[in-house]
Every structure is written in structure tokens, then in C-alpha cells.
Amino acid sequence: MKNIINFCLLVCVTIVSSCSYKTDSAVGTFARGADLSWLSEQERDGVLFYNDEGQATECIALLRSLGMNSVRLRVWVNHETGWCNKADVVNKAIKAAKQGQRIMIDFHYSDNFADPQHQTIPAAWSNYSYEMACEAVAEHTRDVLYALKEAGIKPEWVQIGNETPNGMMWPMCKLTNKAENEDGCWERYAGLTLAGYKAAKEAFPKTNVIVHVDNAYEYRDWFFKNMLEYGGKFDMIGLSHYPMMKIWSGKEWKEMNELAEHNIRSLIREFHCPVMVAEVGTMNFDDELSAEVMRDFVNRVSQIDSCVGIFYWEPQCYGGWKPREYDALGWGPYDMGCFTEDGKPMEALKILLNPNMSVSQK
């Protein structure tokens, strides 16, 4: 009898862990998505979201009604606030999957935001040797992905590092010169990425592993050439694009969109792999201009074969809300959300999410 009970329990666990959620769109179709990593913290703070009729609506359900089919979620190793850790990510992924969303998991391999100016090694790993760091990357990746698997989540995309043109986990794997392998920096960075790649494929052999850089308006073929030369692997290239940030580029938004389109086409042709726009954002101070910028960009890239999708970065921010870590950093509220001051989706977000609205209009 005991053996029978144990067998039944094993069968039940297997069934639960192998379950998956029905998605609104098929794997491989164009992703119209959003990074909603702050959502659980906003909900804790009582932030509400409204449809055009002024009715309070759960955020993912609201964006789904506009056409969203994919959600991106970042993972921090051990942020002091507890947000974006394994448990938080799994909970958000389940919530999104129940709403028919495909899932992208974005590993930062840091305790806080990782970007071209900040790639701080997690505090718990700070004294590790390089070999230990590779194992930590692999173990952290497996730990989160197997937790998702047990919850019935099958990520379609897994991002190994966030905006890493200058490497990651500094100072160990900082890229100090794009053209040279100074002191083996490229070998170390490619090795870390490979450790994450293999771990992701162990958990989900069919997931698309993304390596992600910023500034889609800059042609970064040197980065991906070096990545491959020194032993790194990726299935897909990820790019960020913030076309209204002239202060970063010195360029007008239309030129930035044109350059991004050209570079996406060139990367696909040169590296024979798909490109994902993993982050996009406009400015929330001008709804009409933001809509024009977004329509132009979506029209351009959604027509490119092997450009596989676009994710708006944290569109649900409005009304001066900011996450707890911004207070600690002395930062103001994020100003590229895509909701109005009364908590409704802006036109630019509707254009991104609804293919019928991104058709060129005169």
C-alpha cells in the first residue's frame, strides 16, 4: 500500500510539474510585449490601472485586451528589497501565463540593474574565482528556470545578461576594448555567457537564448563576432531602442528609427539569426509625438523577416510612482512609461500591441 501511495504521489507531482498554460499566440509568431517586472511591487503599493471607460482593470488583462501576447521579466540574484528574486519572478510568470502570455526571462546576474554603465557582480559572488563564477551563473540560471518549469512555465526566450556590450559581472568580465582581448577579458565574458547558455538549454532545450546589447541605432557587429570567436553562443540577438533619447545619441528620432531598421536587417543577414527588440520606450510627456514615433518604428521592424518581436520596457508606470530602489539611488520616477496621468494606456502602447493600429496613417 505504501508503495502504491508513493507511486501515486510521484505521478501527481509529475503531472503538475509538466503542465503548461495555453498561450494567445503560437510560438515563433511576432511578439508584441511588455517588460512588467515592477508590476508586483506596484500592486503592493496599490497602483491601479484603467481602461478607456475608466474602469479599474488588472494590468495584464488590460494589456492583453489591447493585443499584448508576451511578457518579459527580469531576474536579480539578491536585491535588498526582495523584488525580482526567484519567488517574485515565478509568481509574475504564473500570473502572465494564466493570461495567455508567452514569457521571456531576463537574467541580469547582478543584485541590481545591469546595463552598459552598471554590471556589478552579485555581492555573494564577489570573492569567487572565475571558475566559481561560471558555476554560479549556471546554478543561478538552472535554479530559476527549474522553478519555473515546476510551476508549468516554459519560457520561449531566456536572456543571458542585460545590455552587455561592455561585458558583465565587473570587474571580472569587463570588456575594456571592443577590438582586443585584453588580459583574456573576451574569453572570460564569452565563457560566462556560455555557462548561462548551457544551463538554459538544460532546463529548456527549445528555448531561444538571447544575448542583448543597447542602442539599436549603433551597428555592433564587432560585439557578436567577438562573442562567437571566443566561444560564446546565442540563438537570437536582443537590442534596446529608445528613439526619443536625443541626449544619448545626438540624433533625431526618425534617424534613430532608420538606423535601427538598417542595423536589424544587417545583423540578421550577417549572423543568420533572428533579432528581438527586447526593450523600447518613448517619452510620456507628449502622447501624440510618442504615437508618431512608435508607429514609424513598428511599421519598419514588424515587416522585417526574422525580426521576431518588440517589448515595451515598463509601460505601466505613471503618476509619479517609482520603485523602492529608485529612492535608495536618489532617482526620480521613470519618465518613459506609456500610461496617461489618469492610469490609462497611451496611444503609443496601443500601436505597439495592436497590429491593426501600427499601419501607416497619414
pLDDT digits (tens, 9 = 90+) for 118-127: 999 999 999 9
pLDDT of residue 8: 45
pLDDT of residue 161: 98
Using a 10 angstrom Cβ sphere, with 0-12 exposed, 13-18 middle and 19 or more buried, the burial of residue 49 is buried
Rounded CA separation 247/257 (Å): 15
pLDDT of residue 314: 98
Residue 107: φ, ψ to 5°: -80, 125
Q: Where are the beta strands (DSSP E) in the chain?
A: 31-35, 70-75, 102-107, 157-160, 167-168, 173-174, 208-213, 236-241, 275-280, 307-313
167: left (phi over 0), alpha (psi -120 to 50) or beta: left
Spans of the chain, pLDDT less than 70: 1-19, 177-179, 358-362
Percent of the chain with pLDDT over 70: 93
Contact 211, 254 (CB under 8 A): no
CATH number 3.20.20.80 is the correct assignment for the domain at 2-353: yes
pLDDT digits (tens, 9 = 90+) for 68-106: 999 999 999 999 999 999 999 999 999 999 999 999 999
Contact 233, 194 (CB under 8 A): yes
Q: What are the grid coordinates assigned to 132, written together?
A: 566559481
Residue 171: cis peptide before it, omega within 30 degrees of 0: yes
